[in-house]
Each structure stands twice: as structure tokens, then as C-alpha cells.
Amino acid sequence: MAPVVPSQDSLDRRKVVGINAETVTNITATDFPNHHAGEDLAWSLEKFKTNLRVQFHQNQEHEATFSLIGVDASLANAFRRILLAEVPTLAIEKVYIENNTSVIADEVLAHRLGLIPLKGSLEGLSWLKWFIGPNPEIGFEGMERSDYNTVVLHLKVKCERNPDADKNATEPEEKYINSSVYSRHIKWQSTGLQEKYFKNGPIEPVSPDILITKMRPGQELDMIIHAHLGIGADHAKFSPVATATYRLLPTITITKPIVGADAKKFQKCFPPGVIGLERLTNYEAESQQAGYRGHWGEEKAVVLDAMRDTVSREVLRHDEFKDKVKLGRVQDHFIFNVESTGQFPSDMLFLESVNVLKYKAKRLLRALDAMEGR
């Protein structure tokens, strides 16, 4: 039997999840051997390389939006979960409180400090070790604290009356010095080789204006803080992202002309920018296509940017549109949104998730080799 080569239109239809008023159809992937008779759907690396595409829509320091095209949902979800829980991140882990006379209890204060995101030189962050065993060459005997695995910070603040304050001042910021303790009061103490690796970007909070506590004259804080690398699976403070989500690319197909007042109503069924209105030309108005003839000068509905659609299905609530539009989502087109907490650039985080997945795959291969005795 000669191999069957399906048309591109047929291949595109297979990838579209049908969005109906009450149901969702065509949700199962069919790109595996023997599903379609006569077609070779065996997975191959070359085919994967050909189909894989990454397209950026927004790339800012703290937020990136991009499309990952040509991958299975399991792989896209693996990247999302790794971003949330498995990319090593520096965060405050231990707080040694020498003096705390503020109104906030020690354990609550330590918890607040742990949730303050830190940033520093990317070179230094990649140099820090999450775990290192004994290494006589560098004088490291085990798991004790060292410049390789621990960042030391200090928080020492005392609230005092402002001698230069106006007698009629009522605001604490005017009457007192250090009435509010902010993340900017946390100071990094360089240790060993850290001065070399963090010279282009010292360890400091991502934002200097994170409020830690408020104090009044006579109250003070004095503590030593240790930050370590960890992963979000252990605690949310180690997650490098504020959010990491994806959604499938929406599709909107207008199957019959929508003109005049219906076109304006149709446009309002979608978020701004999804549907546009174009004025019918004389050629279209005189054509034999049903729905256009006789509507010269009126406006017709056209799809401008389906990616903006939230797939609310509002349009399917109106009977006049039910047979004129088809909604769907593309199965292998994932629109990622990654919002960094500030320690890493948002686009770099996705590359880090790829590195983590590669490491996990290599570890699995080594385990399989060990099971086979190789």
C-alpha cells in the first residue's frame, strides 16, 4: 500500500480543538503510528526539529510572552512545572535574631524576610552551589557554611526621634528616624570569592521599598541572615517566577458573511482587538456570494488578532451567529506567559527550565543503564 500524504488543510484541521457552546471536541492527539491508515506518524528527531518553533511576542526584563509551537502538551506542561518548582533560586533560609524589640514576633519576621526576592550578578548566582560534597582542594570538608553555598546578609536598624522634626509634625516619617524598616536596610556581607563573582552585581533585594515592619523610638532589629539556593518544590520562596502559565492559541473562523449591525454586535462579543470592521467594496457588494450582495458601503466583520481572544464563547450565546462562526484552539501551539520575581530575566528562566529537563533526562538514562548492568 502506497503511503498516504494528507493535505496541509487536513493536517491543520486535526490540530484544532473544537470549542462549542456546551462541549469541547477533538481533544485527543492523533499524531501517533497506526491511527491514520497509510500514514507514517512515527516520532523522529528530524521531524521534531522541523516542526519546533519559538516565537516571542513580548520580552521584558520581568515578563515574557512567547509561543512554543510544535510540541506535545506533556512537554509544555513539564516546562511550566519546572519553572514553578525546580529552577534553583537564591532565597533567605535562616535568620539568626540577636535583638528584636519590634511588635512583630521573631518567627513572623523571619517568614517575611524569607519572602523578599533577592537579585545579584548572574555570574555569581550560577557560581553558587546548591550542594557540594567534601573537596580538599578548596578546603571544604562537608556541608558547613562557606562562600560556595551561603550568602550572608545583615539587618540592623534602630528607631530614634528626629531632632530636626517640626514640632507640629504628625507623620511618623517626619517625627522619627527609621520608623519603617524596608528591604533596602538589608545589607550584603561579601565572603571569600563572592566579592569576585558578585562584583558586577551585589546581592540585594529586588525592590528596595518592600516594607518589613514599623517601629517606634527605642525599638530595634539586629539579625544575621543566611540565604541559600533551593527549589520551589521545597518552599514557594524559592520559586523564581511570580506566575508561569500557558494557553492554547485560539482560532476564529467566520464561515458566513457578517455585515451591518450584526458585524458591530459580533465585534462586541470578543475582547478589544480581536475582531475588526472593514467596509465592503463595490466588487464584494456586487458579487454572487450570499450575504454580501446589496450591502455596498456597509461594514463586514473580519478577524484581526485571534491570539487576544479569551475564548469566552459569548458569541455562541446569540442564535444569529451560531452557524456563522467556528471557535477552536490549536493543540500544539502554546502561548507562555512567564513573570519573573526579579532574580533572573524572564526569557532566561525558560532556558533554565530546558537545562533542568535535560539534566533529568540524562539522570534517567544513567539509571536505565545501571539497571541493565551497563
CATH code of 89-238, in short, is 2.170.120.12
Element (H, E) at 188: strand 186-189
Helix, strand, coil shares, percent, the chain, to 5: 30, 30, 40
Q: Where are the domains of the chain?
A: 89-238, 256-323
Q: Among positive and negative, which fits the CA dihedral 172, 163, 185, 97?
A: negative
Q: How confident is the model at residue 143 (pLDDT cuts 50, 70, 90)?
A: low
| Average model confidence (pLDDT) across the chain | 88
pLDDT of residue 300: 87
Q: What is the average per-residue pLDDT within 155-176?
A: 91
CATH code of 256-323, in short, is 3.30.1360.10
In terms of DSSP H, where are the helices of 144-198? 172-175, 194-197
Of 53, 75, 56, 76, the residue nearest 66 (C-alpha): 56
The answer, yes or no, to whether residue 3 has pLDDT greater than 90, is no
- For 76-124, write each residue's pLDDT tens digit: 999 999 999 999 999 999 999 999 999 999 999 999 999 999 999 999 9
Q: How confident is the model at residue 168 (pLDDT cuts 50, 70, 90)?
A: confident
Element (H, E) at 240: none
Q: What is the average per-residue pLDDT within 335-359?
A: 93
